[in-house]
Amino acid sequence: MDDEEIEESDEGAGMRPVRYACEACGYAWRAEVEAAQQEQAEARARALANPGGPGALHPEYLMAVLSGVLGPNDVVVSDSGNAAVWLRAQYEAGLTSGFIDTTNFSAVGSGLPVAIGVRAGLSEDEARAAEAGAPAGFGAGRVVAVTGDGGFMLNVAELETSVRERLPVVAVIANDFGFGNVRSYQRTVYGDRRIASDLTNPDFAALARLFGADGYRVERPDELAPALQAALAGGRTAVVDVLVDPEVLCPPLHAAR
Ligand SMILES: Cc1ncc(C[n+]2csc(CCOP(=O)(O)OP(=O)(O)O)c2C)c(N)n1
Ligand SMILES: [Mg+2]
């Protein structure tokens, strides 16, 4: 986008301070944005080339494939934990409101309920738009909660809400059978002494079906894209349980030095 295009797309007074700030700095941020985009494209290529193995997908591969499957109108809501770190590294949002990230509040468990709230709000917007004569399918972005298994379990009861309200929310679980972020600290700060960071999860796909939602379990890399596509196309509440490698851990953010 060149300077004229930015001015032409400046439709509201709300954008003017941004334009003035950009003009004042000579659009110097562009090089930074382009470098970051280049870096992300390289990281995406690396992630896609490293899918991991059966029962132990690489979590960054999961996020890269998810990013490729989603479209420009879709909204992703992130839970916290390692899954959120991999997601932030790989997800490219199409909308300015297309990525809702609660992780700086460390809000483990918020992913599914926030996604339900977002989807309910969009449904109201769509109903109003339809009343005003908007074409069918207006604003039909999908809403995806990306969560770890620990976070998902904290508010799993909200699946009932989503099914009852007939909301097409898709929960994608990076399932490492544990509190991966806690494992990260235990590995880095406590000499890999593991205490209470492993979980014995139920089969989340089967659990979803018991709630009346759709459920998919992904054990092999080649099952991932078809499961995500089916869950997104179903138009119903769905859970995609992806078995990721429990030993692929992010460096902890706040490790003591
Ligand atoms: C309500 C709440 N409980 C506990 C924590 C501490 N905590 C931060 S990340 C994390 C691990 C979350 O595990 P999971 O959702 O499976 O994500 P993973 O790190 O394994 O990807 C925990 C317990 C928190 N931030 N908030
Ligand atoms: Mg986990």
CATH at 179 = 3.40.50.970
Instruction: Kindly tell me the sign of the dihedral angle through the C-alpha atoms of 20, 21, 22, 28.
Output: positive
- Mean per-residue pLDDT over the chain, rounded: 90
- pLDDT at position 16 is 77
pLDDT at 211 over 80: yes
Residue 17 CA to ligand 1 center (angstroms) comes to 39
Mean pLDDT check: name the lowest of 16-20, 57-61, 244-248.
Answer: 16-20
250 Cα–ligand 2 center, Å: 12
181 lines ligand 1 (CB under 6 A): yes
- Taking the CA of residue 250 as reference, the ligand 1 atom at the shortest distance is 19
Give the rounded percent of residues in the chain with a pLDDT score beyond 70: 90
Q: What does the pLDDT average to over 192-218? A: 98
Mark whether 93 and 220 lie in a shared domain: yes
Q: What is the pLDDT of residue 9?
A: 52
Ligand 1 pocket, residue 168 CB under 6 Å: no
Asked if 8 and 81 sit in the same domain, the reply is no
What is the predicted pLDDT for the residue at 10? 47
For residue range 113-126, list pLDDT tens digits in order.
999 999 999 888 88
- The residue that leads in pLDDT, 191 or 1, is 191
- Host domain of residue 4: 1-40
End-to-end CA gap in the chain: 43
Number of domains in the chain: 2
Q: What is the pLDDT of residue 238?
A: 98
The DSSP 8-state label assigned to residue 92 in this structure reads -
Please indicate whether residue 86, judged by its CB atom, sits closer than 6 Å to ligand 1: no
pLDDT-based confidence at residue 255 (cuts at 50, 70, 90)? low
CB of 97 closer than 6 angstroms to any ligand 1 atom: no
Segments of 92-142 assigned E as strands: 99-101
Q: Does residue 134 or residue 179 have the better pLDDT?
A: 179
Can you tell me which residue has the tokens 């059966």?
Answer: 54
Instruction: Report whether pLDDT(23) > 60.
Output: yes
Instruction: Specify if 90 maps to a domain.
Output: yes
Q: Are residues 27 and 76 in the same domain?
A: no
Q: Do the strands 99-101 and 56-57 form a parallel or antiparallel pair, or are they unpaired? A: unpaired
Instruction: Mark whether 15 and 75 lie in a shared domain.
Output: no
Q: Is 180 in the pocket of ligand 1 (CB under 6 A)?
A: yes
- Taking the C-alpha atoms of residue 100 and residue 95, their distance in angstroms, rounded to an integer, is 11
**73 and 7: one domain?**
no
Contacts of 103 (CB under 8 A, 6+ apart): 78, 79, 80, 81, 84, 85, 88
For ligand 1, atom 13: residue with the closest CA? 179
pLDDT of residue 35: 92
pLDDT of residue 19: 76
**Averaged over 84-92, what is the pLDDT?**
92
Q: Residue 45: inside a domain, yes or no?
A: no
Query: Same structural domain for residues 93 and 206?
Result: yes
Residue 72 near residue 48, CB atoms below 8 Å: no
pLDDT score for 95: 72
Cβ 106 under 6 angstroms from ligand 1: yes
- Is 141 within 8 Å of 75 (Cβ atoms)? yes
Average pLDDT over residues 176-181: 98
Is 70 exceeded by the pLDDT of residue 81? yes
What is the DSSP-derived secondary structure letter of residue 73?
A: T
* Residue 245 · residue 176 · CB < 8 Å: yes
73 and 149 inside one domain: yes
Domain contains 86: yes
Give the angle subtended at the CA of 240 by the CAs of 237 and 242, to the nearest 5°: 165
**225, 196: one domain:** yes
Separation CA 13–CA 10 (nearest Å):
8
Considering the domain architecture, whether residues 68 and 175 belong to the same structural domain is answered as yes
Within a domain: 157: yes
Atom of ligand 1 nearest to the CA of 79: 15
* Residue 10: other Cβ atoms inside 10 A: 13
If asked whether residues 15 and 89 sit together in one domain, one would say no
